[in-house]
C-alpha cells in the first residue's frame, strides 16, 4: 500500500514532527521487527501518541492515479492489498481509495500510546499469496520494498513499482516500473 498507492505514513510523520529517524522504512530495513521496535522507541522518547499519527494520516491523499488504478483493475479482477501497515492507520486512506480489501496488522494501544504491534501472522504477505495459490488463484503481485519480496517471489508473477535502486538491484528478476499506468499495462494482459 504505502509507496505504491499511498504516501509512506512514517515519512509523513517524520516530516510533520521533524524527527528524521522516523523516515526509515521497509525500503531501508529488511528486518520488519527491528524497524518497528526502533519506531516504538522513537515514539516513546518523543511522547508521540496514536492520535498524533492519525492527525498526520488524515491530511494525506493517495498517490496520483491510485484510485483510478484500483478502480480499473477491479473492473477486470479481484484485488487484495497486503500491507504491513496497521488497521488504526489505514482507514482514512482506504476510504479515499473506494474501500479496497486490505489485509494488514494491528497496533497495541494503551491510553492513546502505541505500546506494541501485533502481526496477523509472520511473513503474512508471502503466506497470503501461497494460500491464494492453493485455492487455484493466479496471483499477480506488485510492491516496492524488502517486505514485499517474499510475496513477489511466491506469486505467479511479481513486479516492482516505485522501488528504490537498492531493492531493484537486489531483486533484478522482477520487472520494475515507475508508474501505476505502466503497471496496469503489464497486469491486464495477464488476467
- pLDDT tens digits, residue range 108-133? 999 999 999 999 999 999 999 999 99
Q: Is the distance from CB of 104 to CB of 84 less than 8 angstroms?
A: yes
> pTM to 2 decimals?
0.93
Residue tagged 524527527 (cell numbers): 19
Residues 6+ apart with CB under 8 A from 80: 100, 101, 102, 103, 128, 132
User: Mean pLDDT across the stretch 164-181?
Assistant: 97
Give pLDDT, residue 116: 98
Quote the cell numbers at residue 43.
Answer: 515514539
Give pLDDT, residue 59: 97
Instruction: Classify burial at 140, counting beta carbons within 10 Å of its beta carbon; exposed 0-12, middle 13-18, buried 19 or more.
Output: buried
User: Mean pLDDT across the stretch 36-51?
Assistant: 98
Query: CA–CA separation, 149 vs 158, rounded Å?
Result: 9
The one-character DSSP state at 75 is: T
Amino acid at each position: 500500500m504505502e509507496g505504491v498507492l499511498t504516501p509512506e505514513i512514517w515519512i509523513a510523520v517524520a516530516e510533520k514532527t521533524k524527527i528524521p529517524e522516523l523516515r526509515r522504512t521497509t525500503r531501508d530495513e529488511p528486518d520488519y521487527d527491528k524497524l518497528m521496535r526502533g519506531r516504538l522507541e522513537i515514539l516513546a522518547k518523543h511522547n508521540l501518541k496514536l492520535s498524533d499519527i492519525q492527525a498526520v494520516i488524515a491530511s494525506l491523499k493517495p498517490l496520483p492515479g491510485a484510485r483510478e488504478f484500483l478502480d480499473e483493475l477491479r473492473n477486470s479482477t479481484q484485488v487484495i492489498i497486503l500491507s504491513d501497515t496497521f488497521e488504526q492507520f489505514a482507514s482514512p486512506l482506504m476510504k479515499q481509495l473506494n474501500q479496497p480489501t486490505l489485509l494488514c496488522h494491528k497496533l497495541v494501544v494503551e491510553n492513546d500510546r502505541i505500546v506494541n504491534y501485533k502481526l496477523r501472522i509472520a511473513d503474512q504477505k508471502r503466506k497470503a499469496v501461497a494460500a491464494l495459490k492453493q485455492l487455484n488463484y493466479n496471483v499477480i503481485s506488485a510492491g516496492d520494498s524488502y517486505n514485499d519480496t517474499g510475496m513477489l517471489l511466491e506469486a505467479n508473477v511479481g513486479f516492482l513499482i516505485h522501488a528504490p535502486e537498492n531493492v531493484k538491484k537486489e531483486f533484478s528478476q522482477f520487472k520494475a516500473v515507475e508508474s501505476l499506468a505502466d503497471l496496469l499495462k503489464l497486469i491486464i494482459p495477464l488476467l
